[in-house]
Every structure is written in C-alpha cells, then in structure tokens.
Amino acid sequence: MSSYRKKAWMRFSLFMFLAVLFVLFALLAGFLAPKDPLTTDYGHMLEKPGAGHLFGTDQLGRDIFSRILHGGRSSLLIAFAVTGIVAAVGIFLGTAAGYAGGILDGVIMRICDTLMAFPGIIFTVALVSFIGTGLPNLILAMSLTSWTGYARISRALVLSVKNNVYIEQARLGGASGLRVLGVYIIPNILPSLLVNISQSIGSNLLTISALSLLGLGSPPPTPEWGLMLSEGKNFIYNAPWMLIFPGMVILVCVVIFNLLGDSIQDLMNPRENIY
Amino acid sequence: MSGTELDRKGSDKDQEGETLLCVEHVSKVFPVKKRRLTAVDDVSLTLYKGEMLGVVGESGCGKSTLAKIIAGSLKATSGRVTLNGIEYPKLKGTAAKNHRRNIQMVFQDPLSSFSPRMKIGTYLSEPRRNYDHLPRSEAWREAGALLEQVGLPASFLDRFPHELSGGQLQRVAIARAIAIDPPLLICDEATGALDVSIQDQIAALLVRLIKERNIGCLFIGHDPALVRSISNRVAVMYLGRVVELMPSRLLEKEHRHPYTGALLDSIFDVYCDQSAEIRLLEGEPPSPLRLQSGCAFAPRCPQCTERCRRTVPELKDIGGGHFVACVET
C-alpha cells in the first residue's frame, strides 16, 4: 500500500470514527445523559457551566449537556433520513434520465426545473406550514425540495461517462442495458456522489436548525439542536452558553461529515498522487 | 517501417475465400443544421474469412463511421451489411444482442477503452460471463490464459488500467476482443495512439492471433505502410468513398488512383532522400457538407481533366482483384 493510500485510509478511519461516535452518543443518550432532558428545575435556572451541569442550564433549569445528547437523536435522525431519501430518489431519477434520454429525460428534468425555481428553504417553509410541523412532515418537506440537486448531479455524471469508448466496449462485450448501468456507469460516478451525500448530511443538519430557529422544526419541549439555538438567542447576553454549546455541536458535526465526504473521495480514487 | 518485414500475412492469398462480411452500397448521412453531411458514400466491400482487409485514408474520410456501421453501433442511411449472409443490423431484441458477439472492436485510445475502476481481470471476463454465462471464477481463470496469449503475465489480472502502459492496455483490449472467438474483428486505428516501436509489436500480435484463430479482420489506419505490411488487401478511402481497392502488394508500385499516390508520397521514411522536396497535396479536402459534382478528388488532383469534374467515377475492375475509381484509368 502506498503512502497516499495509507494517508487516505487514516483520514477516512478518523472521520468515520468521529461520525460513528456522534451517532453513538445520540443513540445512547438515555444511558449517558446525567439528567432528564425535560425535567425543569427552577432552583437552577441559567446556571453557568460547572461541576453540576457540564454545559450549564437553560431558562427552565434543564441540563444543557443532557439536552444536547438527546437532541442528537432527532437532529441526526432527520438529517440521515432526509439525506437517504433524497439521495435514493434523486440518484435513481437522475441516472434514469441521463441514461435513457429522450422523453423520460425531458419529463424528469422539467420537474426538477420547476422545483428548483423556488428557493428551497422558502418552499420547505411553505410546505411545512401547509401540512403541519412534526418529524415526518419535516422529513417529507425537506426531501421534496432537495432531491433535484442529486438528480441533476447524477444526470450530468452519467452523461459525462455515457459516451466513453468503454461503454461501447461493454455493449460489444454483451452487457445488457442494466449491466452497463450497474457495472460500468454507477461505479464510476458513485465516488462523486458519495462525497455529496456525506456533505449533505451536514447541510441538512443546518437546514433543520434553521427551520427550528424559525419555529417550524420540532415543537418546544423536544430537545433538538436547532430549537435549542432558537431558545438560546433570547438569552445571548446573560447566558451565552445556551447558544455556544448547541452551536458548537452543530458546527463540529457538520465539519466532521464534510471531511468524511472528502476522505471518501480520496479513498475511492483508484489513481494515486493526484495532487 | 516498410523496411522491416515481419512474418506477416503468411501467403499473399489473393484467391477469394468464403465471404464473411458483405457491405453493399452503404451510405451514411448525418443531418448538420439542415444540411447533409455525407460521411460514407455508397461503399461496397467484401471481406473473406480469415482475411485482413486494410482501410486507409486521411482523417475525416469516413473510416471510423464505416467501422461503426459494421460494428452495429450506427445505422446506415441506406445499403445492406451482412455477416455470413445475415443482415444483422435488422435484428431485434435477444437475436440482436446475441449477434453482437460475432463482431468485436479494438479502439484507438487504449485508456478510454477501459472503465477506470474495473480490474483487468473483470474486464477480460466480461464477454464470457455475459455471452456464455460462465461462472466468475472460471471466466477469471480463462482471462489469465488470455493474458498469456497476448504476451502479458497473468498477474496483471488484479491491476487497474492506469497501472498499465498504452501498449499493454492495447494487448488487453485485443485479448478481450478475441475472448469469444468472433469471426470478425474491427481495429479502428488500433495502433494509432502508440509509439512506433510498440505499433509494430501490436500489429504482429494481431496478425498472429487472427491467423491462429482464422478471424477476419478489418484494419483501419492512417499509416499506409503499416496497413500494407499486415493486410491482404487494402482499400483506400477518400471523402466517404472507396477510391481504390487492391491486393496490398500492389499498393506501393502499381496503384492507379492519384490520391493513393499522394497518400504514399506523404510517408516519411528514414531512408528517404532527405534533400528531395516533399510533394504536398494542394489544398484541403472539400467539406463533406458540399459535395460537388464529379470526382471528389478533382480539386486537388494533379491529373484532373474536364471529364473528372462532370462524372463521378465508379469503382472499376481492372483485373487481378484491383479496383479503381478514376475516370482517367
């Protein structure tokens, strides 16, 4: 193994480890959290970070550290669910459009254009206020608006690969249409897509936070990172830790998933020393 | 190159064997912004079993379009193409898919013929797995044997395309093409992107393999010397038409078409007279969008007469398997 590959592996392992750590923290919040995230304690309101409360407490005396651990569940769940749905639908439709061409291509791409004509977040806000808040609705609304990006990217990637001589070779070698797609096209476009997927986990986290900040995410007592930011903004002068800690967690999480995407790209590159 | 005659061709077999491929009056017209680009213009060719037929001509003369039509990846605008009497471009569905195994191609650029993420072994096992439904392990073992036949170690199976040189890749491409014993192999400038020293090796390998396996081969190239030295017959194309067709031993001395002469004059040779003036063809070939009446070569032809500008010359038999499309012969 060359040093380039070794380095790529090391970086990938590191970021994968950190990402898994985040997910584990969220999953095991019930065991790890020192306090109940919903129990209010009016004797300890807006307490500074310290021994009793690692990250301090909020305006209702709830332990911020526990709320962050529990909040990871809904935040990460939504981010993963939306990314999964969006990637699956978008890649499927985009690849089909690029490979088949003709009418199918036209129809799918015009739908994309129509959806993309709206600013994404505004469309999501409109949808959520129309169908109501709540986890499933939030996932649905976010998925409906953002699959178009995947469809466009995968279509463009398929088009760039489709006219290569090796596709012609594949046909001569007896590969069926489906096999050409699965064996010759997808493996060559997947790395670029994987990068997108892992990076959009980060951006979806941010969108959820933004929606919660606007009051369209999870309803109030739920521990959720964006919602915590939204609540904290009223206390920015007397209790900045209410903003700092959830903000830091979102930041670190987004950065980790972005870097994970980068390291996947380096790892899946069969050529070395590309720099 | 013409000085070093490799063990090629074996016998100069001019005698006509069994017909393998028959191209009859094939034309291909591409619509270009309401105009018509005639890439291949009424070409008729016959390829016999086990024969190597060379096709030469400058860039844009329709060689590759012809190859694509024969390979079945382009539909001809008019004309018939048959392989062993079957008009395969008209086949549909499974029959069409199964017929594809009979014609394999080797392309010019070795690197782009390979999927960058596919191991050499996978690439080589594909045809046998797809057409004959061989299990993966068996196809892989066969792939190793194939590699050895084209002079590469079986350890290359686990490598990726970018780890091989152009010449090695071209050997692998040839190995894949012959893996399913096609009766017809098309080499579209298969040596065009290689170093001169490698070109010779690849050409020699091709000749050995097609002789061993009795494969008919359409060898397209732009180097007349190389094509002449390995093929039994040579067809010269100019602007979509075959202007001369002859046994390749006649190419050097007994060609009759002025274009063939011009093409041969353009060959550089280490032994050529360095001080002699290089005779150049005047002008560019006319655009295939504006085919004028008369012989397509007329505007550049040194022997052009009034008759040439009026009549389109047909390919005439002048004996000994030699055909030429020139009014003045």
pLDDT in tens, chain A (275 residues): 577 778 888 888 999 999 898 888 888 877 777 777 777 777 777 767 777 777 777 777 788 888 888 888 888 888 888 899 999 999 989 998 998 888 989 999 999 888 888 887 888 888 888 888 777 888 888 888 888 888 999 999 999 888 888 888 888 888 888 888 888 888 888 888 888 888 788 788 888 878 877 777 777 777 888 778 878 888 888 888 888 888 888 889 888 888 888 888 788 776 654 44
Contacts with A, B 138-167, CB within 8 Å: 160, 162
Q: What single string gives the DSSP state of each residue in B106-171?
A: E-S-TGGGS-TTS-HHHHHHHHHHHHH---HHHHHHHHHHHHHHTT--GGGGG--GGGS-HHHHHH
- Which tokens sit at A176? 């069926």
Q: What single string gives the DSSP state of each residue in chain A?
A: --HHHHHHHHHHHHHHHHHHHHHHHHHTHHHH-SS-SS---GGGTTPPSSSSSTT-B-TT--BHHHHHHHHHHHHHHHHHHHHHHHHHHHHHHHHHHHHH-HHHHHHHHHHHHHHHHS-HHHHHHHHHHHH--SHHHHHHHHHHHHHHHHHHHHHHHHHHHHTSHHHHHHHHTT--HHHIIIIIIHHHHHHHHHHHHHHHHHHHHHHHHHHHHTT-SS-TTS--HHHHHHHHGGGTTT-THHHHHHHHHHHHHHHHHHHHHHHHHHHH-SS----
In a domain, A120, yes or no: yes
> Quick check: B107 and A165 CB within 8 A?
yes
- Structural domains in chain B plus CATH codes: 19-110+188-195+216-268+278-324 (3.40.50.300)
Mean pLDDT of B86-93: 85
Find the CATH number of the domain harbouring A103: 1.10.3720.10
Mean pLDDT of B146-173: 89
> Quick check: A184 and B103 CB within 8 A?
no
The burial class, CB within 10 Å (0-12 / 13-18 / 19+), for A114 is exposed
Angle at A216 between CA A215 and CA A222, to 5 degrees: 75
Q: What is the pLDDT of residues B241-257, one digit of tens each?
A: 888 898 888 877 788 88
What pLDDT is stored for residue B7 in this prediction? 44
User: Are residues B222 and B216 in contact, defined by beta-carbon separation less than 8 angstroms?
Assistant: no
What pLDDT is stored for residue B184 in this prediction? 92
In a domain, A38, yes or no: no
Angle at A46 between CA A45 and CA A48, to 5 degrees: 120
pTM of the model: 0.76
Please state, in angstroms and as integers, the Cα–Cα distance from residue B226 to each residue in A184, A204, B104, B195, following that order.
Answer: 34, 60, 21, 13
> Quick check: A187 and B118 CB within 8 A?
yes
Crossing angle between the packed helical segments A64-100 and A186-213, to the nearest 10 degrees = 140
SS3 B256: coil
In a domain, A28, yes or no: no
Q: What is the pLDDT of residues B6-29, one digit of tens each?
A: 444 444 444 457 888 989 889 888
> Quick check: B73 and A171 CB within 8 A?
yes
User: Are residues A63 and A96 in contact, defined by beta-carbon separation less than 8 angstroms?
Assistant: no
What pLDDT is stored for residue A23 in this prediction? 86
Q: Which residues of chain A have a CB within 8 Å of the CB of B160? A: 270
Mean pLDDT of B84-112: 86
Given CB atoms, is B96 within the 8 Å cutoff of chain A?
no
> Quick check: A169 and B116 CB within 8 A?
no
Please state, in angstroms and as integers, the Cα–Cα distance from residue A266 to each residue in A12, A190, B21, following that order.
Answer: 9, 13, 48
In a domain, A201, yes or no: yes
In a domain, A53, yes or no: no
Amino acid at A224: E
Query: Among B73, B100, B115, whose Cβ lies nearest the Cβ of A184?
Result: B115
Range of the domain at A246: 65-268
Question: Could you write out the three-class secondary structure of B7-68?
Answer: CCCCCCCCCCCCEEEEEEEEEEEEEECCEEEEEEEEEEEEEECCCEEEEECCCCCCHHHHHH
Least confident of A19-28, B97-106, B279-288, B313-322: B279-288
Interface of A with B (CB under 8 A): 164-166, 168-176, 179, 183-184, 187-188, 270-271
Laid out side by side, the sheet with B103-106 consists of B103-106, B184-188, B216-221, B52-56, B233-238, B241-247, B323-324, B316-317
The burial class, CB within 10 Å (0-12 / 13-18 / 19+), for A30 is exposed
Q: What are the φ/ψ torsions at residue B124 (nearest 5 degrees)?
A: -75, -30
Cβ contacts of A99 within 8 Å, gap of 6 or more: A158, A162, A177, A181, A185
Q: What are the φ/ψ torsions at residue A234 (nearest 5 degrees)?
A: -75, -15
CB atoms within 10 A of CB A130: 9
What pLDDT is stored for residue A110 in this prediction? 92
What pLDDT is stored for residue B217 in this prediction? 92
Query: Among B105, B109, B160, whose Cβ lies nearest the Cβ of A172?
Result: B105
User: Are residues B125 and B143 in contact, defined by beta-carbon separation less than 8 angstroms?
Assistant: yes
Query: Among A174, A176, A270, whose Cβ lies nearest the Cβ of B160?
Result: A270
In a domain, A222, yes or no: yes
Whether residue B273 has pLDDT greater than 70: no
In a domain, A1, yes or no: no
Instruction: Report the share of chain B in percent with pLDDT over 90.
Output: 9
What pLDDT is stored for residue A273 in this prediction? 47
B101 to chain A, closest Cα gap in Å: 7
Total domains in the fold of chain A: 1
In a domain, A175, yes or no: yes
Crossing angle between the packed helical segments A186-213 and A225-232, to the nearest 10 degrees = 30
Cα–Cα distance, B141 to A196 (Å, whole number): 38
What pLDDT is stored for residue B284 in this prediction? 66
What pLDDT is stored for residue A107 in this prediction? 93
Whether residue B108 has pLDDT greater than 70: yes
Cβ contacts of B141 within 8 Å, gap of 6 or more: none
Q: Which residue has the higher pLDDT, B286 or B317?
A: B317
Residue carrying the six token digits 């169908």:
A131
Distance of CA B146 to the CA centre of its chain: 23
- Which of B94, B117, B123 is the best substitution to test chain A (most A C-beta atoms within 10 A)? B117
Cβ-Cβ pairs closer than 8 A, A with B, add up to 61
Q: Which residues of chain A have a CB within 8 Å of the CB of B113? A: 165-166, 169
Mean pLDDT of B132-149: 90
Q: What is the pLDDT of residues B170-226, one digit of tens each?
A: 999 999 988 888 999 999 888 877 888 888 888 888 888 888 888 899 999 878 888
SS3 B249: helix
